[in-house]
Amino acid sequence: MATMPASASASDLLKSFKLKTKQQELLIRVSILCLVYILAFITRLFSVLRYESMIHEFDPYFNYRTTLYLTENGFYDFWNWFDYESWYPLGRIVGGTLYPGLMVTAVLIYRILRFLRFAVHIREVCVLTAPFFASNTTLVAYFFGKEIWDSGAGLVAAILIAVCPGYISRSVAGSYDNEGVAIFALLFTFYVFVKAVNTGSLAWCLASAFGYFYMVSAWGGYVFIINLIPLYVLVLLITGRYSMRLYVAYNCMYILGMLLAMQIRFVGFQHVQSGEHMAAMGVFFLMQVFYFLDWVKHMLSDTKLFQAFLRITVTSAVAVGGIALGLGMVSGYISPWTGRFYSLLDPTYAKDHIPIIASVSEHQPTAWSSFMFDFHILLFLFPAGLYFCFKRLSDATIFIVMYGLTSMYFAGVMVRLILVATPAVCLISAIAVSATVKNLTVLLRSKNKVVQTGSTKGSGGSKSSSKALLDQSQPFQKNGAIALLFGAFYLLSRYATHCTWVTSEAYSSPSIVLAARGAHGNRVIFDDYREAYFWLRQNTPQDAKVMSWWDYGYQITAMGNRTVIVDNNTWNNTHIATVGRAMSSYEDEAIEIIRSLDVDYVLVVFGGVTGYSSDDINKFLWMVRIGGGVFPVIKEPDYLVNGEYRVDKGAAPKMLNCLMYKLCYYRFGEMMTEYGKPPGYDRARGVEIGNKDVKLEHLEEAFTTSNWIVRIYRVKPPNNRW
Amino acid sequence: MEAWIRARVTLALTLFALLFFVSRSSPPRQFVISNAERRIDLSSHIINVHLTLKVENTGTRPASEVVLALTPTEVDHLAMVDALAIKGKQKKTTSVRLEVKPTELPDAPPIDAKYFTIYLADPLNSGESTTLEVLYVFMHFLEPFPAEIAQSESQLVFYHDTALILSPYHIKQQTTFIKTPSTKVESFIRVEPTNRVGTEIKYGPYEDCPPYTISPIHVHFENNSPFAVVEELVQEIEISHWGNIQVTEHYTLVHAGARHKGVFSRVDYQSRQFSNGASSFRYLLARLPARVHSVYYRDEIGNISSSHLRTNSLKSELEIEPRYPLFGGWKATFVIGYGLPLQDFLFESSDDKRYLNFTFGCPLIGMVVDKLTIKVVLPEGSTDPSPVVPFPVEHRLEAKYSSLDVIGRTVVVLEKKNFVPMHNSHFQVYYTFNPIFMLAEPLMLASAFFMFFVACVAYIHIDLSIRK
């Protein structure tokens, strides 16, 4: 950093206020951090400005509802909450089946603000929780970057992660989901753990255990931590980087973290009973063996004896571990891996075995384009950063390399896991940017010295050789460095532009309210979801049961305040399959199922009038598949014609007469949707529908929203026999 | 139905007969109504009854209390009663508002009735006569029949009344005009002479009716005007001496007409607007004060995007549309909020007090409010609040904690049941406020920041390490 030459000419008084270089640097660093902190927050407010301060998507509505419950009824009621309003007639033990971290955090913030006499509504707190934690993540990223490389890299990492679309996609204002706080918790845990490994201090170990506890309480993704850290420890052991610091850090973190995590009801004893957590335990025992061996080696002076001892101990340890694991597996004490875990290791697994996981769009394998979309230049900087990391290997860089590589793999398997990879990618790219820019500026400076002093080799290390090379081609060196700096500047500004654009265009839509451009370029709002939910809330009996596909379950309970049969917590596949079966049966078969489930209203989402493509007709094949998975009477080929899914005249007869088709297209045949097209022209699929004369026998239309997106049917009471 | 009406008629006749035999002594008898004309307007669900009475003092002493009688059902639905004395001849008439109070008559009336007394400004001397105009406003008085209708049907309602005015006085001549909203009248009871022309049914003139004569009638007619009723309206007016008045209004709106039955078909509703859902309504108009700003319209689950605000220098109009059209029995709740400049509504009175001058009423036009609560949130530190309302209301005090409040704000709560648009008038809330309290919150914030920086400085300069 340069001293200020301008102040040299200033008066003595000013001179006394002149900051030292170190102070200047601190000032600049703190102000950059503050700006980044603010930037990370405000860039996530597009959705509030474009739409309103509202909760987005599907899962956040459940989180919002539970948070509301927590504020109103207190923690103990929340913990013991049995929810009658979902999964009718089974109900749901909410306290035992959720990660409470998010709700508790939001309520804590709310209470603090209330205590400080800020009259805020809990909804505002929920809406802004994710941006707030995103801001905090930038701070953690700075410290993490500082820990693994230097403060420059930390600053760059903070800036990169503040606007990285991969993270913004899950943390815009209103996206009140577990991931919002979990990424902060994840990065914090990793940072503190690396710090603990670097220092071997118990305080940092403790902090990492608590970070891990917070992560466990917030998101199911904690499994990534509990597998990555043992893997990292194992790699350090193999590469001969075993140290007392590592021993202290890992053991303390594992034992404490495990004990703390058991306090979360949803996680319970999984740390000792589930296959997914066994790696951590194995590495824990391995550490003890390692330590023991180290001690023995220290005690035994005879190397030969030690070799023999080593052989026996390692074999017996591995054998004991293997037998214990085998016994646990066989006796059923240790549960096998879950489907989701398998599908991470084998991307094709879900498609063949668990359609309910495969049916979610965010569980699909990632396309190359979405990598580009979410990472932009980071995708190219990432390998460069890896190169720098390998050049300066340390415990910390090994960690970040491992984190980056594993999370990149998972990001490739599932779209939503791009989120987990984002911090690693940002950190590694930041190293690349920082190191490059630093090298270039050092080059520019040192060249002046070269001119002045003739020849000075750099302080040594990697740069000396390149300098030596560049010294010989002085005319191009300066220009080259400047050009490269400009290139870096250009790339980074492109990145900023891209991020802002992506945030405003792609990730700030609440998906409850749909916006489109009208014929005259004006903005048209389709608020049909809320119209329907509010209608349900106001104009149906308090105890009405609503059947819909599970996607809308959370929203119906949160906004409509009515009981649903299935919702987005897909814990009971059979129940969902029953709904899928009802939707894909003929009406008189479906009504049996509907009556047996005690359903009063059936809700479908239909985009034929507006051209909204993610409606129930387009999701219908998944209902058939999931229904067919449990009830073999439902067969997918019955709904297809030559393997093709269609709704027009050429559609399969079963398709044209199943309940879903009837409910979506009831009286749609009379409707003129588009000029110059016949009535009953489905705009979402671009065809004229095949069955325009839909008659309903056991259901009647109760409500259809103004753009037909949501249609609600009432189940008629059975006819009197007399 | 028929039998029921017959029963009522017989009952009335029995009472009528009883009347002659039992008591002729009840109320002060010095008045005779020489001419009564009643105009009943049934065009909306708020029923206006204009009664013009020519009262003559036939007693010996001067008297100033004229008694009006209403049946208990009428009283239950009565939103307001207002009386004017008309003075002067023909064109040069002036009207004077008179005080009306509910009263109990000491002796048992021959008919179950409740009474209101009009206090004349000047006592009426013996032999003199005067003209009174009485306005009754009733709400929830039309009975939908059938009680449930389908989407394509229009709404039919019953109006029950008596052809002869219930009165403790002898009425020499009386006529009743009933105006229906359209010519579609299913049925009505004739009490000859009865005449129906267009949208008007004329009962009478009837000559020489003794006191407490009634003759029940009903009119069964089509009324598709929106039966929009606000079941509850809570209006919160928050005063900030920094220059703003924030008004928040919580509505519970219901369609109080014939209940919707069976299917709601969007196709029919969209393509055949006039024959379908004739009794339903979609738009509401709120008239807000001029210079209104930051208007919002939302409900529990978020913003409602269908609203338009038109402002000019005299008034602002907010056209709102609930999320869905309201059919009979359907409900909607929503919140309207807006800010107003302080200087338009807050004034200083002569005795060093300040007062808020605001409209007591519902900004939605033509709306009946079952329960209206107005909460005036005074700034923190204000004392001695006293409301002045032109009609009787219940009032009490509450406390509210808003942003950065320590001792809480005084809230004056005014409650009024059965509110109709005719009630709209201004009310005042007087209070004392020391301007020094305005500085409390900024000072608090400033000191909090100051403390924070001091803490930061202290932290940097203090060495907390244990080892040296």
- Give the pLDDT of residue A459: 40
Q: Is B329's CB within 8 Å of A539's CB?
A: yes
Amino acid letter, B439: L
Find all residues with CB under 8 Å of A129, minimum gap 6, and list them: A102, A105, A106, A109, A176, A180, A181
User: Between helices A244-261 and A222-238, what is the axis angle to 10°?
Assistant: 160
Query: β-strands B63-70, B143-144: how paired?
Result: unpaired
- Spatial distance between the Cα atoms of B229 and B249, rounded to a whole number of angstroms: 15
C-beta of residue B237 within 8 angstroms of C-beta of residue B356: yes
- Spatial distance between the Cα atoms of B138 and B144, rounded to a whole number of angstroms: 15
> Phi, psi (5° rounding) for residue A348?
-90, -5
Q: Which of residues 309-328 of B touch A (CB under 8 A)?
A: 323-324
Token code pair at residue B148: 């449930």
Question: Mapping DSSP to helix (H, G, I), strand (E, B) and coil, where does residue B464 land?
Answer: coil
Set of chain A residues whose Cβ sits within 8 Å of the Cβ of B262: 700
- Give the pLDDT of residue B5: 56
CA diameter of chain A? 112
Instruction: Find the closest chain A residue to B406 by CA distance.
Output: A117
Q: What angle do CA B112, B115, B117 make, to 5 degrees?
A: 165
Q: Please name the residue that has the structure tokens 């209103």.
A: A174
**Chain B closest-CA separation from residue A674 CA (Å):** 15
Q: Is A527's CB within 8 Å of B405's CB?
A: no
Query: β-strands B307-311, B315-320: how paired?
Result: antiparallel
Set of chain A residues whose Cβ sits within 8 Å of the Cβ of B305: 513, 525, 527
Find all residues with CB under 8 Å of B334, minimum gap 6, and list them: B250, B251, B253, B297, B298, B299, B304, B320, B322
- Spatial distance between the Cα atoms of A141 and A129, rounded to a whole number of angstroms: 18
- Spatial distance between the Cα atoms of A384 and A144, rounded to a whole number of angstroms: 19
Q: What angle do CA B149, B155, B160 make, to 5 degrees?
A: 115
Give A463-482 pLDDT, tens digit per residue: 444 444 445 556 677 888 89
Reported ipTM: the value is 0.88
Nearest to B37 by CA among B29, B46, B49: B49
- Spatial distance between the Cα atoms of A80 and A93, rounded to a whole number of angstroms: 8
Asked, for residue A162, whether it belongs to a domain, the answer is: no
Model pTM?
Answer: 0.89
Token code pair at residue A481: 């460095």
Find all residues with CB under 8 Å of A317, minimum gap 6, and list them: A285, A286, A289
Amino acid letter, B445: L
* CATH number of the domain bearing residue A683: 3.40.50.12610
Find all residues with CB under 8 Å of B142, minimum gap 6, and list them: B42, B45, B47, B157, B158, B159, B223, B227
Question: Considering Cα of A111, then A112, then A117, then A118, what sign does the dihedral take?
Answer: negative
Which helix (H) or strand (E) segment holds residue A473: the answer is none
C-beta of residue A101 within 8 angstroms of C-beta of residue A67: no
Amino acid letter, A171: S
- Spatial distance between the Cα atoms of A383 and A396, rounded to a whole number of angstroms: 17
**Chain A closest-CA separation from residue B9 CA (Å):** 39
Nearest to B140 by CA among B88, B188, B75, B91: B75
- Picking from A49, A52, A514, A539 by the largest number of B CB atoms within 10 A of its own CB, the best residue to mutate is A539
Query: From residue A387, how far is each of A393, A486, A548 by CA, in Å?
Result: 10, 22, 51
**Chain B closest-CA separation from residue A169 CA (Å):** 22
Q: What angle do CA B189, B191, B192 make, to 5 degrees?
A: 130
Q: Is B332's CB within 8 Å of A705's CB?
A: no
Which helix (H) or strand (E) segment holds residue A202: the answer is helix A202-218
Nearest to B173 by CA among B68, B51, B35: B35
Report how far Cα B298 is from the mean position of its chain's Cα atoms.
24
Nearest to A585 by CA among A550, A630, A635, A551: A635
Q: Set out the domains of chain B in order of their start, with CATH numbers.
A: 31-222 (2.60.40), 228-442 (2.60.40.1730)
User: Between helices A151-163 and A21-42, what is the axis angle to 10°?
Assistant: 10
- Spatial distance between the Cα atoms of A104 and A106, rounded to a whole number of angstroms: 5
Q: Is A119's CB within 8 Å of B402's CB?
A: yes
Give pLDDT tens digits along chain B (468 positions): 455 555 555 555 555 444 444 444 445 567 889 899 999 999 888 999 999 999 888 888 888 888 888 888 888 888 888 888 887 766 677 788 888 888 887 666 667 788 888 988 888 888 888 889 999 999 888 999 888 998 888 899 999 988 888 888 889 999 999 999 988 898 998 888 888 888 899 998 898 888 888 888 999 999 888 889 999 999 999 999 988 999 999 999 999 989 998 889 888 888 877 777 788 888 899 999 988 999 999 998 888 888 889 988 888 899 999 999 999 899 999 999 999 999 999 999 888 889 999 999 899 988 889 999 999 999 988 889 999 998 888 999 998 888 888 888 999 999 998 888 888 889 999 999 988 888 888 999 999 999 999 998 898 888 777 776
> Phi, psi (5° rounding) for residue B256?
-95, 15
> Phi, psi (5° rounding) for residue B85?
-100, 130
**Sites in chain A below the pLDDT cut of 70:** 1-17, 447-475, 722
Instruction: Find the closest chain A residue to B332 by CA distance.
Output: A538
Find all residues with CB under 8 Å of A270, minimum gap 6, and list them: A276, A277
Whether B401 has its CB under 8 Å from any CB of chain A: the answer is yes
Select the residue of A118, A534, A701 nearest B301 (Cβ to Cβ).
A534
Token code pair at residue A222: 């904690």
Instruction: Find the closest chain A residue to B261 by CA distance.
Output: A702
Amino acid letter, B312: N
Asked, for residue A100, whether it belongs to a domain, the answer is: no
Q: Which of residues 442-461 of B touch A (CB under 8 A)?
A: none
C-beta of residue A445 within 8 angstroms of C-beta of residue A398: no
Asked, for residue A321, whether it belongs to a domain, the answer is: no
- Picking from A49, A61, A68, A117 by the largest number of B CB atoms within 10 A of its own CB, the best residue to mutate is A117
- Spatial distance between the Cα atoms of A157 and A170, rounded to a whole number of angstroms: 18
Select the residue of B323, B329, B330 nearest A531 (Cβ to Cβ).
B323
- Give the pLDDT of residue A143: 95
Select the residue of B300, B332, B405 nearest A117 (Cβ to Cβ).
B405
Whether B392 has its CB under 8 Å from any CB of chain A: the answer is no
- Picking from A523, A534, A536, A663 by the largest number of B CB atoms within 10 A of its own CB, the best residue to mutate is A534
Set of chain B residues whose Cβ sits within 8 Å of the Cβ of A52: 298, 302-303
- Give the pLDDT of residue A454: 41
Asked, for residue A562, whether it belongs to a domain, the answer is: yes
Token code pair at residue B69: 């009688």
Asked, for residue A470, whether it belongs to a domain, the answer is: no
Question: Mapping DSSP to helix (H, G, I), strand (E, B) and coil, where does residue B272 land?
Answer: coil
**Chain B closest-CA separation from residue A480 CA (Å):** 43
Nearest to A662 by CA among A618, A700, A610: A700
Asked, for residue A588, whether it belongs to a domain, the answer is: yes
Q: Is B305's CB within 8 Å of A119's CB?
A: no
Select the residue of A527, A538, A701 nearest B264 (Cβ to Cβ).
A701
Q: Please name the residue that has the structure tokens 């049946």.
A: B71
Q: Is B331's CB within 8 Å of A538's CB?
A: yes
Whether A701 has its CB under 8 Å from any CB of chain B: the answer is yes
In chain A, the number of structural domains is 1
Set of chain A residues whose Cβ sits within 8 Å of the Cβ of B306: 527
- Give the pLDDT of residue A463: 44
Give A177-228 pLDDT, tens digit per residue: 999 899 999 999 999 999 999 999 999 999 999 999 999 999 989 999 999 9
Instruction: Find the closest chain B residue to A53 by CA distance.
Output: B302
Asked, for residue A293, whether it belongs to a domain, the answer is: no
Report how far Cα A4 is from the mean position of its chain's Cα atoms.
45
Query: β-strands B368-377, B228-240: how paired?
Result: parallel
Asked, for residue A545, whether it belongs to a domain, the answer is: yes
- Domain enclosing residue A685, as ranges: 527-715
- Spatial distance between the Cα atoms of A154 and A146, rounded to a whole number of angstroms: 5
